[in-house]
Amino acid sequence: MLLPKLIWAGLRDMFSQFMMFALLSLSWWFAAVLIIPGPPATTALMSVADPRRLGAAAEFAEALDTLKASWRRSWGIAFFTIPFLVMLVWNLSFFGGVEGYFAAMVPLWTIMFILLFIVSLYAFSMAGTMESGTKNAFRGAMYVLISRPFMSVFLSIFLLLLAVLMSAMVLPMLLFGPALIACIVNRVTLSVLGENIVDPDAPTPERAEERARGLNPDPGLLSRFRRKPEQRNR
């Protein structure tokens, strides 16, 4: 059940700084339309969505600095992924509903698209969170894929379905679609790499020890409502 926990963690990361991520998502779409700044904008978004930065407010200026500094490695990743993804989509759309030799290749192309899609996201995550160059970004991406192949496949399918669902509603995809995907992918990538992510909402070691020993238990939701008003205000 690791993947649902990581997806939930990514969702929390995105909503913890919703306004900033909404601005970054809209900026990412603007860069994607212009095409040329699209890959660096993806790396910048991954960098700002790094969960290890939790507790420190993200700044738009930091994203711009990352965009300027990651131009070469971002386009290196895009060069080895985006053309092949486009080619696979074209093959699937053209030969998907016909009969013949190439129609038998549709399942293979589908699997290739699912794997290449998640590898490209892992690579951009590596470039953004670990500041990896093109080669190291792909090495890290392949390590994550090989270490968790089934989780990666399910994640890829989930993100594709999520993107389709949000695109159908239009506004969610524009406002927080790119940021949400970045937060989820970063969570998975850093988790597989074994990076320590500190949760600012986690209890202190002293409080965790008290809970383990059963001291000063947290009141339940019903017990909080049952308390008298003067007790709640103390």
* Whole-number average pLDDT of the chain: 85
pLDDT classification of 225: cutoffs 50, 70, 90: very low
CB atoms within 10 A of CB 6: 23
Convert the pLDDT of each residue in 132-174 to its tens digit: 999 999 999 999 999 999 999 999 999 999 999 999 999 999 9
Q: Would the pLDDT of 99 be above 80?
A: no
Its pTM stands at: 0.84
In a domain, 28, yes or no: yes
In a domain, 215, yes or no: no
Which of 46-60, 175-189, 198-212 has the least mean pLDDT? 198-212
The confidence score (pLDDT) of residue 140 equals 96
The confidence score (pLDDT) of residue 193 equals 94
Task: Indicate the number of domains in the chain.
Answer: 1
In a domain, 97, yes or no: yes
The confidence score (pLDDT) of residue 224 equals 47
In a domain, 233, yes or no: no
Range 106-129 average pLDDT:
95
In a domain, 230, yes or no: no
The confidence score (pLDDT) of residue 113 equals 96
In a domain, 220, yes or no: no
Share of the chain above pLDDT 70, in %: 80
Range 167-189 average pLDDT:
94
In a domain, 222, yes or no: no
Residue-range definition of the domain harbouring residue 198: 2-202
In a domain, 26, yes or no: yes
